[in-house]
């Protein structure tokens, strides 16, 4: 069909005028661009399951910088003879490579930003690869490893490469652990251009296996995943597993200062660099790997195929002799065939949790056997390293049960927020407003463009056109919905945007406020009073690096949390019942609240608020408190066992997959980190809320 179409175009081309020929060339150009885009396809290889960076909790923020990367400029100082020589060698080598092997030099796309943040070093991508290079991590990790241990090792390697060695990211495209899991390693996966072996980076894909194979031997599962992944890559990029390609090394003795050497298309690290990597006990299997990849490609065998029995038996025998074989404590052991894997997974759901089953099919798992996750939580508790304190008495947390009507009324009221840092660390305030400032000084209004307030021992000194002393001062803009700014407040965002403007009014008066050691202090305080809807815009309990669904989760929880305490019936442990504020801007006490116009930098939070603005979480038709914390060691705590509350049955203990060695936070309610993991995969915000808070309902207040 393609040939007939080609003959037709050639025949018609001879009879076309100039305008039709231009039109045809334009059409062909668009088709070529579209074909290249579709050929580049997805970062995911269609024949293997790859754990993404988001799934293993890669902290992308350590690759960020606050400003654009500076343009490289030539040195203005006098260069040494050695520097001049090195620059000339580099120019000649690069020119020779560009002329003779252009596809080894030129990447196809670069991105200086990620998640709207500047990168310390740009991400480079190349959609065409011609070689696969295999490594080991060269570390002995010890015996009896769990999935949690592996995850911690992965994060440690990432930080070591990115921070300690200043590589801006991880060296390799993919990593394989000893439990057959394959991880997206460098940002960009298979497309990423890595930075490890000069002149061999652009057109290659690098795979690293965990462990030191100078001393140990790969497991059958690890070798199986290596062959599966290598086959998938070779098929995707049309790489001949038995073919050869050129690799390049530096030669400083004579032009062109580079040596091209033929090596197998599937090769080891030591083929491109002077190193023992990937170790003798993996190096010896190269011929078998290449032959097995070829066999699978010829026979269209890609997914989850077993290794040849003689090879598998040899690996098993070596691993029996090797005492540091990785074994899983938390993951069910399965056979190597797909059918046996499915059988084992279905059997384990009666008393334990299959991690992959859980992370992909939670709703089905709950329908099939809802008791399984409760059992898993109880098992995690039994294995917890510390004893949980036993309740000696129980109390009621909920003093007033707000109805939907109560909630609607609260949402139309103002909320007063203690500005903790300004209260504790500042005693002088330089104030300006959008428009004029209206100062109320001991009940008398004054219109001024600016003023400086200073806390004295028992008075507030107000300096503007003249000086006044007062017991109480409030200030607001003369224009409705405009803001008040404290210009000497030096708080800034990660983008160096000043967080020093506030909607509504600021109030200065002597009162008590909490200290972080649990005591109360009597001194002058700063309180921001504003409409509740405005307050919600400037809460920072998530950020734009997280999914919209996670932002919706936090919008719902933050709304419930603030409303629960607004009328003083429900007593906050850090806020005195007679205080002239109902919230605190410090997350150690309440919720993190920053400044007016936050939606300029956190757009997802603003979208989440709009999507959920008429919704509220209710339990048994009253407003519940919804605690949350950072992460857990595998289970959350019920409010009854942690807080000793006996009137919050919806705050029960649930199973929680996480990477923390211990609780980061109080442990009751929603685990912040795993909620994001849910949202990244497939769960909606209401599903996430209902997983952590039992028997709740999402109610439309209209």
Which range, of 9-13, 260-264, 449-453, 471-475, averages the lowest pLDDT? 9-13
Q: Give the Cα separation of 375 and 353 in Å (integer).
A: 9
Dist. CA 454–CA 469, nearest whole Å: 10
Residue range 78-125, pLDDT digits in tens: 778 777 888 888 888 778 877 788 777 676 667 777 766 788 777 777
- Residues 23, 97, single domain; the answer is no
Task: Write the CA distances from 689 to 500, 590, 620, 635, 698, integer angstroms.
Answer: 33, 20, 15, 16, 9
Most confident of 39-43, 179-183, 288-292, 669-673: 288-292
The burial of 493, by beta-carbon neighbours within 10 Å (0-12 exposed, 13-18 middle, 19 or more buried), is given as middle
Looking from the CA of 599 toward its CB, the CA atoms found within 13 Å total 9
- Give the CATH number for residue 119: 3.40.80.10
Q: Tell me which residue range forms the domain holding 21.
A: 2-40
- Give the chain's domain count: 2
> Do 146 and 230 fall within a single domain?
yes
Phi, psi of 242 (to 5 degrees): -100, 0
**417, 527 in Cβ contact below 8 A?**
yes
Are both 9 and 119 inside the same structural domain? no
Q: Assess whether 33 and 64 both reside in one domain.
A: no
End-to-end Cα spacing for the chain: 60
pLDDT in the model for residue 432: 93
Assess if residue 695 is contained within a domain: no
pLDDT above 70 as % of the chain: 77
Whole-angstrom distance, CA of residue 437 vs CA of residue 485: 10
Instruction: Say how far apart CA 121 and CA 204 lie, in whole Å.
Output: 19
Contact, 603 vs 683, CB < 8 A? no
Give the helix ranges, DSSP H, for 416-568: 420-425, 532-537, 548-565
What is residue 532's three-state secondary structure?
helix
Output the pLDDT for position 16: 61
Report the candidate in 407, 329, 397 with the shortest Cα–Cα distance to residue 148. Answer: 329
Q: Please give the structure tokens belonging to residue 599.
A: 């939606």
**pLDDT of the residue at 1:** 45
Task: Give the pLDDT band (50/70/90) at residue 300.
Answer: low
pLDDT in tens, 537-584: 989 888 878 889 999 999 999 999 999 998 778 889 899 888 999 999
Q: Is residue 210 part of a domain?
A: yes
pLDDT, tens digit, 9 for 90 and up, residues 219-278: 888 899 999 999 988 988 889 999 998 888 877 778 888 888 888 999 888 877 778 888
Better-scored residue on pLDDT, 396 or 321:
396
| Chain segment 374-422, per-residue pLDDT in tens | 666 777 777 776 666 666 667 788 888 888 888 899 999 999 999 999 9
Tell me, what's the pLDDT at 261?
A: 86
Q: In terms of domains, do 28 and 65 share one?
A: no
Of the chain, the percentage scoring pLDDT greater than 90 comes to 23
Which region among 96-105, 209-218, 459-468, 632-641 has the lowest average model confidence (pLDDT)? Answer: 96-105
pTM: 0.51
Confidence class for position 356, pLDDT limits 50, 70, 90: very low
What was the pLDDT predicted at 355? 41
Contacts of 47 (CB under 8 A, 6+ apart): 228, 231, 232, 235, 302, 303
449, pLDDT greater than 80: yes
What pLDDT digit, counting tens, does each position of 168-184 carry? 777 778 999 887 788 88
**Is 117 part of any domain?**
yes
Query: Per the domain annotation, does 194 fall within a domain?
Result: yes
pLDDT digits (tens, 9 = 90+) for 455-509: 998 899 999 877 889 999 999 999 887 889 999 998 776 666 778 889 999 999 9
The partner residues of 437 in beta bridges, in order of sequence, read: 448, 477
pLDDT at 542: 84
Claim to verify: residue 314 and residue 175 sit in the same structural domain:
yes
Handedness of CA 8, 11, 15, 21 (dihedral sign): positive
Half-sphere exposure of 166 (CA within 13 A, CB side): 0
Tokens of 382: 């039994």
**Do 105 and 173 sit in the same domain of this protein?**
yes
Would residue 159 count as lying in a domain? yes
Domain boundary among 282, 303, 321: 321
User: Does 27 lie in the same domain as 103?
Assistant: no
- DSSP letters, 171-225, are S-SEEE-TTS-EEE-STTGGGBPP-SSTTSSTTEEEEEESS-TTTS---HHHHHH
Domain identity same for 118 and 224: yes
Q: What is the mean pLDDT of residues 19-26?
A: 69
| pLDDT of the residue at 328 | 38
680 in a structural domain? no
| pLDDT of amino acid 66 | 75
Which pLDDT does position 413 carry in this prediction? Answer: 93
For 639-670, letters b (16+ CB in 10 Å) and e give bbbbbebeebebbbbbbbbbbbeebbeebbbb
Does pLDDT of 34 surpass 90?
A: no
> From CA 53, how far away is CA 185, in angstroms rounded?
7
Closest CA to 55 of 653, 682, 608: 682
Q: Mark whether 287 and 173 lie in a shared domain.
A: yes
Confirm whether 108 is domain-assigned. Answer: yes
Query: Is 242 part of any domain?
Result: yes
Q: Are residues 147 and 238 in the same domain?
A: yes
Do 65 and 109 have their domain in common? yes
pLDDT band at 128 (very low <50, low <70, confident <90, very high): confident
């Amino acid at each position: 069909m393609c040939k007939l179409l080609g003959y037709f175009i050639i025949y018609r081309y001879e009879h076309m005028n100039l305008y039709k020929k231009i039109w045809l060339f334009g059409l062909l150009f668009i088709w070529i661009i579209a074909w290249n885009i579709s050929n580049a396809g997805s970062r995911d290889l269609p024949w293997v399951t790859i754990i993404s960076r988001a799934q293993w909790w890669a902290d992308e923020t350590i690759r960020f910088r606050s400003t654009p990367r500076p343009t490289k400029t030539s040195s203005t100082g006098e260069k040494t003879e050695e520097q001049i020589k090195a620059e000339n060698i580099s120019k000649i080598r690069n020119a020779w490579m560009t002329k003779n092997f252009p596809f080894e030099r030129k990447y196809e796309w670069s991105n200086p930003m990620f998640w709207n943040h500047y990168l310390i070093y740009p991400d480079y991508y190349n959609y065409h690869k011609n070689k696969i290079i295999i490594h080991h991590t060269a570390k002995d990790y010890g015996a009896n490893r769990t999935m949690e241990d592996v995850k911690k090792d992965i994060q440690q390697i990432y930080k070591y490469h990115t921070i300690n060695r200043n590589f801006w990211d991880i060296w390799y495209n993919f990593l394989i652990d000893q439990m057959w899991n394959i991880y997206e390693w460098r940002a960009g996966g298979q497309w990423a251009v890595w930075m490890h072996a000069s002149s061999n980076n652009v057109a290659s894909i690098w795979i690293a296996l965990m462990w030191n194979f100078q001393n140990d031997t790969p497991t059958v599962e690890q070798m199986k995943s290596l062959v599966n992944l290598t086959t998938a890559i070779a098929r995707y990029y049309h790489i001949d597993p038995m073919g050869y390609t050129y690799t390049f090394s530096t030669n400083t003795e004579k032009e062109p200062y580079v040596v091209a050497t033929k090596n197998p298309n599937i090769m080891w690290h030591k083929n491109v660099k002077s190193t023992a990597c990937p170790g003798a006990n993996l190096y010896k299997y190269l011929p078998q790997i290449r032959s097995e990849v070829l066999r699978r490609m010829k026979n269209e065998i890609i997914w989850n195929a077993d290794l040849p029995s003689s090879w598998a038996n040899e690996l098993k025998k070596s691993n029996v002799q090797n005492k540091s074989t990785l074994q899983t404590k938390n993951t069910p052991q399965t056979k190597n065939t797909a059918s046996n894997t499915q059988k084992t997974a279905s059997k384990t759901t009666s008393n334990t949790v299959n991690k992959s089953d859980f992370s992909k099919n939670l709703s089905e798992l709950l329908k099939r056997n809802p008791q399984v996750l409760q059992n898993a939580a109880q098992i995690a508790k039994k294995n917890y390293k510390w004893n949980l304190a036993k309740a000696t008495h129980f109390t009621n947390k909920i003093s007033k049960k707000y109805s939907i009507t109560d909630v609607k009324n609260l949402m139309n009221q103002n909320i007063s927020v203690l500005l903790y840092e300004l209260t504790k660390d500042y005693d002088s305030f330089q104030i300006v407003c959008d428009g004029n400032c209206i100062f109320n000084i001991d009940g008398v209004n004054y219109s001024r463009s600016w003023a400086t307030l200073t806390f004295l021992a028992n008075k507030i000194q107000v300096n503007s056109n003249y000086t006044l002393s007062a017991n109480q001062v409030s200030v607001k803009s003369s224009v409705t919905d405009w803001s008040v700014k404290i210009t000497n407040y030096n708080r800034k965002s990660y983008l160096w945007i000043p967080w020093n403007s506030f909607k509504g009014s600021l109030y200065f008066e002597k009162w008590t406020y909490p200290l972080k050691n649990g005591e109360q202090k009597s001194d002058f305080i700063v309180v921001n009073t504003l409409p509740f809807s405005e307050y919600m815009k400037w809460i920072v309990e998530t950020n734009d690096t997280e999914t919209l669904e996670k932002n919706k989760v936090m919008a719902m929880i933050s709304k419930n949390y603030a409303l629960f305490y607004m009328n003083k019936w429900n007593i906050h442990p850090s806020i005195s019942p007679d205080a002239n504020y109902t919230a605190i801007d410090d997350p150690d006490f309440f919720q993190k609240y920053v400044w007016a116009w936050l939606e300029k930098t956190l757009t997802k939070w603003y979208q989440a608020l709009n999507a959920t603005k008429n919704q509220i979480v209710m339990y048994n038709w009253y407003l519940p408190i919804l605690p949350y914390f950072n992460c857990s060691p595998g289970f959350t705590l019920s409010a009854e066992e942690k807080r000793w509350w006996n009137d919050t049955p919806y705050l029960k203990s649930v199973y929680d997959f996480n990477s923390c060695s211990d609780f980061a936070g109080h442990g009751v309610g929603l685990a912040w980190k795993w909620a994001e993991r849910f949202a990244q995969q497939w769960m909606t915000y209401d599903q996430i809320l209902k997983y952590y808070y039992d028997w709740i309902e999402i109610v439309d207040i209209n």
